[in-house]
Amino acid sequence: MMFIGIALLVAAGLALAISGDAGSLIGLTEQQTGQVIPLVLVLILVAGGAFARRRPISELISALVLWVGIFAIALAGYTYRDEIMSVANRVYGELTPGQAVVDAKTGRVMFRRGLGGHFEVTAKINGKSVPLIFDTGASAMVLTSADARKAGIDTSNLAYDTPVSTANGTGRAAVVTLDRIEVGGIVRNNIRAYVTEGGALDTSLLGMTFLETLSRYAVTKDSLELTN
């Protein structure tokens, strides 16, 4: 019975430590404190159940330490959840170049630099997923013929009367309007773009007709940030 009382006292002490004004001492608001207290109550019940049955003293002490440790880890994870999510998002971005990582607090959309040295951006054009390369040197969005067809554009009826310079040399392109483009939750409508003829371009480009609609975009050593 003595150890039952110890378990309950420890759990109750933890509940008291995060209740009322004491919650602010460990970085919790009143609302967060209210969310954490039920976890303490669960700990009280579990610890009480563990000690209600007759067990060796060493086993009872081990069980108490285990549950206190589990609660401490859960509390630390909850307190630093924003930092943990930030690290998780960065790892996700490293493993999946081209996929947007959205910072919920700031609304920024981030991409990690790919192994080829470019910032790959997966966008949805007219509802279809299209891989793009971030390129401030492109005066407009530029799509390959294949990507344009994927986005529902009839490339056979376009007028390829605009000369363009690409990595493959000079070519010709047609001016089109993209009904809708979405990049990491940032949506724009009626964006001017070029569709290149034949094999003039290997990869579609995220160019200035989209980028200039943003409030901000920035490039650091290994990351691209877009702000709506």
Q: pLDDT digit string (tens) for 85-115?
A: 555 555 554 555 567 677 767 778 888 887 6
Closest CA to 90 of 81, 80, 99: 99
Rounded average pLDDT over 174-190: 93
| Token pair in block for residue 171 | 């070519």
Q: Specify whether 177 is located in the same domain as 148.
A: yes
Which range of residues forms the domain containing residue 74? 2-79
Does 140 share its domain with 221? yes
Q: Please name which of 100, 189, 202 lies closest in space to residue 147, comparing C-alpha atoms.
A: 202
48 and 114 part of one domain: no
* 15/114 same-domain check: no
Burial of 131 (0-12, 13-18, 19+ CB in 10 A): middle
- Please tell me which residue, 72 or 47, carries the higher pLDDT value: 72
> How many other CB atoms are there within 10 angstroms of residue 76's CB atom?
12
Q: Of 47, 79, 111, which marks where a domain is finished?
A: 79
Q: Residue 87, CB half-sphere, CA atoms under 13 Å: how many?
A: 5
CA distances in angstroms from 69 to 19, 102, 155, listed in the order given: 19, 33, 63
| Together in a domain, 69 and 121 | no
Q: Does 84 fall in a domain?
A: no
Please answer whether residues 134 and 195 qualify as being in contact, where contact means their C-beta atoms are separated by less than 8 angstroms. Answer: no
Same domain, 106 and 43: no
Q: Which pLDDT value is given to residue 65?
A: 75
Identify the pLDDT of residue 112.
Answer: 84
Average pLDDT value for residue range 181-210: 91
Asked whether residue 78 carries a pLDDT value surpassing 90, the answer given is: no
In angstroms, the CA 186 to CA 58 distance is 58
pLDDT tens sequence across 19-47 = 444 444 445 555 555 555 566 555 555 55
The C-alpha atoms of residue 21 and residue 149 are separated, in whole angstroms, by: 61
- The strand pairing partners of 124, in sequence order, are 129, 182
Statement to judge: residues 40 and 117 lie in one domain? no
Strand partners, 178: 191
Tell me the backbone φ, ψ of residue 222, rounded to 5 degrees: -130, 10
Please give the tally of structural domains in the chain: 2
